[in-house]
Chains A and B, each alone.
Chain A
């Protein structure tokens, strides 16, 4: 049965996951495999005086122990950064080297200092405890707003003020002028809390070396195997790409944290070469907490100027963004090009100016986490818009409508570089308000009040830039890679199809969605289509999955490749049917001579291509494999409105989400079941950020205080409601499918909606600001301080 675009096809990948037959990296064991454990810094900042491993080396089962000196002697490079940002004055960002193992100094708790390799994991663990590292502890700084103050400890002696870059976008003078003479100016100081991505599968790697061929293989929990091959091969291990294979098998969630090239990947691969045996490392969860790239962590001051009718005149933003102790792979781009370029939001604000300082601290590196920059932008805008609505005593939905970009205004050029191609913010706002019964809210608020509960409703009308990215644009902005995508369609001689995609599925369901694209185009059942990803030896090339790019960019590449297959099929059919190529049409899996019943099935054409006995060999090569690269013409711009309704217990400060409604515009939808699932998951992470999650470091010592699931509050099933989700698609105008991407929307819209609801509930008490997460303690303290103030 063919499963066209738009059908909620059940997932092809589910059978193996549901029966315990998935193959995650830790499920793979290679013959002769050794096990690695890393010795990590217990200090946020310290000088490494000495690494003494002789006792550990004689421990049972130990095969090798390496520290930084060994890697330097072997000539290894350092972990590269894939995106360079320039400061206001045109100077390049500070880019201190990020060694695979800490060199001379450690710069965050968890910084790897040595690798211990033994016959078993337990032996490696035991021996690692015998490695003596003499540290001379140094003062540290973990908070971004502390790190920029004079006299604070420096993460790098060569980087004054801990400022990696001091960047800006937009024009300051018109913004300042508009703010100076505006009827209203609202100001907001706001924190975007640091998060830990917490994919459920911990990172795991196996490095392998074939002494016969000199080939290396890395099995890795990553979202982009070709990028890892390039970054690790070219910059760290100095291995040519044809001698290095990177396999990313089933991967248990990523959310951004598995994009980056990590030290442990390079260490196990290099060690496998040294020892001639496979070397496996699997993170314990406690290690994930101190070594997976973390997300968000902004401190921002913003000012929004409005005229007397509530039209936005100007927005001015100053943000400090925490980068951690080293620059992670894409970190510089996140608080700049993925954040400040979104500050127009869904609105016509004519003048915008933003300054962003990227700041080093003695914490785990920060990089893109689901949404990456866009949740920070959306949260800021939607909070300040609500604040303006309160100040002007306007209905928050009405204020948004007055400032939305008109549905007739596309393409719409914002003052912060992006040009939106399509959208309809009015309709998604109306849908969300209707589904949330906005009209009936005041009655519900009153009813809750009678029971002593504070009820609030909040909304957020977000936009995001997805489908990363047009390579030339990204390159002009500092990207050190192309951001196209690649697909190959292998038509097998008996007519089944294998798709090789450069994107990577770690939960997104590509094996089904991409099969639907093939099913629709070639008119064949999804059972006859396999989608392969995650292996540089099988896939021609690709940039991987992040930034909601798989369908807009990877799907578009697949459509291009399918077009090539159909076009070649027409030539073969024309020959077999003795007709002109122009007279052949392809529909429902059949090549037909227009206006006749003479036809050849797709399978017959495939067979003829591989058994070319009757075939135009003078003009056409045999075979029916085609590949395509697709470089997007623009970003895509998913948008929508999320509405959250909460109830707050006045005695405990606990927030309960009573209802959550989302209306999103993702363009064309290929599989609505999968899209809904993506929205649900994003919402849970967005609600988690708003109410539960916070990565905290001790300000004095730099110790991670939230280093396990005992301390870091992951959303559980009973923290969340069931969600009401709906979509209204305006088509993307520049990709062949009209798709926009849906993976990050939930995490982008939800924090603003939840916090606006919390503040709406607390407004009667005069509470106007709370930072995320809105924990019971924070809310209780805010309520208590208002009561005290009132009593006084």
Chain B
């Protein structure tokens, strides 16, 4: 079994994995980081979105060995020093989550959007979310939350 070394949430992690081990399996099963979820098997629901070297990506569609040497941030690595990330805080403030299952992927995807587009419009946000499915919220409050979160990130220089 090949060995991979991936920096996850700032910590270097080395493990022997099968060739077929997906990044999401590595995160959930090897590292116990169960915040990243699996909601489908066709790479569409987006519950598994993490950040890899600055970009959001679906961890169910990448092999662990593909991200050798990369920097991966998961939902568990977003809050710093016990303080929620502005995007997490915006989801809380605007009731952008209900059952919470799609939430980690939504938040990780939203952080990427707000990084590349500091002032996204409602249309920008709705278009960006085509790879993230939520069954609970009707997206209304997710859109509100992402708009507020992006503004907070821009203000905070993130």
Contact = CB atoms under 8 A, between A and B. Distances in A.
Contacts, number: 177
B136 interface: yes
Given A15-B92, A285-B41, A677 B129 contact: no
Interface string A284-321: 11100000000000000000000000000000000000
Contacts of A708: 40-42
B136 A681 contact: yes
A286 B141 CA distance: 29
Nearest to A10: B92
B53 interface: no
A681 B35 CA distance: 23
Contact of A14 (B75, B97, B133): B97
Contacts of B123: 718
Contact of A18 (B40, B107, B143): B107
A421 interface: no
Contacts of B143: 717, 722
Contacts of A251: 99
Interface residues of A, number: 56
Contacts of B137: 677, 680-681, 684
A253 B99 contact: yes
A366 B126 CA distance: 32
A676 to B, nearest CB: 8
Contacts of B36: 20
A574 interface: no
Contact of B78 (A19, A22, A200, A682): A19
A619 interface: no
B34 interface: yes
A200 B47 contact: yes
A714 B100 CA distance: 18
B89 to A, nearest CB: 8
Contacts of A202: 38-39
A680 B141 contact: yes
A674 B95 contact: yes
A709 interface: yes
Given A18-B107, A201-B37, A509-B98, A681 B79 contact: no
A659 to B, nearest CB: 13
Contacts of B125: 717
Given A18-B88, A681-B138, A709 B99 contact: no
Contact of A683 (B18, B91, B99, B138): B138
Given A10-B93, A252-B100, A19 B79 contact: yes
A19 B36 CA distance: 10
Interface in B42-98: 42, 44-45, 47, 74-76, 78-79, 84, 88, 91-93, 95, 97-98
A684 B78 contact: no
A20 B34 contact: yes
20 contacts: A19-B76, A19-B88, A20-B76, A20-B104, A21-B76, A22-B35, A23-B34, A122-B18, A201-B37, A202-B38, A253-B135, A286-B41, A507-B100, A673-B95, A682-B138, A684-B138, A685-B138, A708-B40, A716-B130, A717-B127
